[in-house]
Structure 1
């Protein structure tokens, strides 16, 4: 069998999320925790306006989830510790030789390199649980990886980052050839484009060590959407420039040189913890729409929506305030996972 991960722009059956539960990531104080719950719920409701949403909810949070999510969003009760579904949940794939067959890649998840603060053992089971719920064939993998660490074009190209898949805390024995071979087996890719690193903030204690889904994505084959930090005071200004130069020389699996479209960051460059990694690249494409990150800057948010609607023709961009999500280590793409539609 040959598995292939479809592009995010392919038709979805639904989007999967995990509902937050109390713990270090959510916040120490009641107001902080409420902010986190509200942010996740806002994303779920935004997605549900375009396609079905199922949220995995810890037994301790069912009452709150039912109250905040309402009846339009389906709830699946299972134990949760981390609640970043893109990373600990399944990566869905299809088999073009077997129409109607859905696969679910079960990467090894160790909490982004087993940092002392992360609790991942419960959510590491979500790929198996979700696969069973939707009747997908489980595609087991020995690679420590997260869904936010990859982006595909659905036609053989995958973006990855050297500091993620080759992270010694994740895969101490891996090299590029081994990782690329596993991508080929599980995702159906034939060309891996390696970014040397990610954004500055992503290397803090609560970061992922360079996830690509905050840096670049492939809105259509042959096109790259790249985070642009225009302020030279921000260390990501130079990082983004270097990545652009590197990617300008790359070709995709079909041999096409990329058209690179810059997606400027908002104007704010600092918060109480240092340089922000606020990025509009971390959006979710849904059926007929785009769920875009918002950062409380009307002009910058509107500019991002305009660019996103241009690169995804026929889709309407909707902004959700993502500052509470980024404060906890990621964005909208990080907390969602699309399930592609397959012929029945």
Structure 2
């Protein structure tokens, strides 16, 4: 078992991002595009307060990126189409038998199941570009997977979703056993905990088909933060209740039952597209800080900050 993915709370040297590029994901109006640029810039600056940030920038966006990003953020020119780096980028792993050696898992990225609207030709190369830049050993994988589709505790446990890794648009010929074997080979996962599904909105045309990164996060070994929709008028009320029951019956790689901590959703139920999947679970623990999104719901945002502060003691919140 040569490679192991550290806990997502482990200290790290750098955070990698990609700057938005024109396309379907960025939006089809000037307002949406400007909001996307501003949001990515804000995230880069928030993260750089705790950890150095390098951001891949498409040549067509260099002037904008240089104008919007501070000197604290390092720009690396590279082709970009899809810019969700957590999904298209490498999964960094270490070798316990070779201290100081860094590996980079290069999953196959096909734009979350090859939907007609997605463009991923450039994004599919990001893992290799970054691995070469940092001098990491490339760990090639034939598994179609995204970083947001897995979550680990650093001690052998990985959270997966049946509708992601077993998605016929991603891996039509794989079963659980083959996926688990690849998780063992690439990230050292000895125990896979399969979730039956993700949040409702994530199954829409522009969704990921059930990514775990908005559902559950292992804050520390044995302790899971779980998205909790508390309004019965939202379909995720039943979904999150079922997921809680499912997780309560699981154990991690060490044989521990999970302590489940609810992370309540904001009060907003719908937007112009339908039921929302707004979730505080998709946060970043980066060295001495925690960077999480806010939704303009003062009560829910404050409650989420308190829960995250308790989950990650001693770290600043942003």
Q: Taking structure 1 as the reference length, what is the TM-score of the superposition? A: 0.92
Deviation at 1:8, TM superposition (A): 1.1
Q: Which residue of 1 aligns with 2:235?
A: 235
2:192 equivalent to 1:192: yes
If asked which structure has higher relative contact order (CA below 8 Å, sep 6+), I would say 1
**SS of the counterpart of 2:47?**
helix
Q: Which residue of 1 aligns with 2:209?
A: 209
**2:156–2:191: 8 Å Cα contact kept in structure 1?**
yes
Q: Which residue of 1 aligns with 2:291?
A: 291
Runs of 4+ in 1 over 4 A off after TM superposition: none
Deviation at 1:293, TM superposition (A): 1.1
Deviations 1:121-178 (A, max 9, x none): 1110000000000000000000000000000000000000000000000000000000
Distance 2:232 2:317 in 1: 29
Distance 2:312 2:23 in 1: 37
Q: Which residue of 1 aligns with 2:146?
A: 146
**SS of the counterpart of 1:4?**
coil
Q: Taking structure 2 as the reference length, what is the TM-score of the superposition? A: 0.99
Q: CA RMSD in A?
A: 0.6
Map 1:11-160 → 2, pairs under 5 A: 11-160=11-160
Deviation at 1:11, TM superposition (A): 0.6
Distance 1:190 1:125 in 2: 28
Name whichever of 52-61 and 22-31 sits farther off.
22-31
Q: Which residue of 1 aligns with 2:270?
A: 270
**SS of the counterpart of 1:159?**
strand
**SS of the counterpart of 1:210?**
coil
Deviations 1:39-70 (A, max 9, x none): 00000000001110000000000110011112
Distance 1:13 1:230 in 2: 38
**2:156–2:188: 8 Å Cα contact kept in structure 1?**
yes
Deviation at 1:29, TM superposition (A): 1.8
Deviation at 1:291, TM superposition (A): 0.3
Distance 2:217 2:56 in 1: 26
**SS of the counterpart of 1:120?**
coil
**SS of the counterpart of 1:143?**
strand
Deviations 1:196-237 (A, max 9, x none): 000000000000000001000100001111000000000000
Deviation at 1:111, TM superposition (A): 0.5
Distance 2:316 2:226 in 1: 20
**2:45–2:70: 8 Å Cα contact kept in structure 1?**
no
**SS of the counterpart of 1:247?**
helix
Q: Which residue of 1 aligns with 2:8?
A: 8
Distance 2:29 2:209 in 1: 27
Q: Which residue of 1 aligns with 2:180?
A: 180
Distance 2:295 2:62 in 1: 29
Distance 2:11 2:152 in 1: 15
Count of matched residue positions in the alignment of Structure 1 and Structure 2: 318
Distance 1:31 1:144 in 2: 33
Unaligned runs of 5+ in 1: 319-344
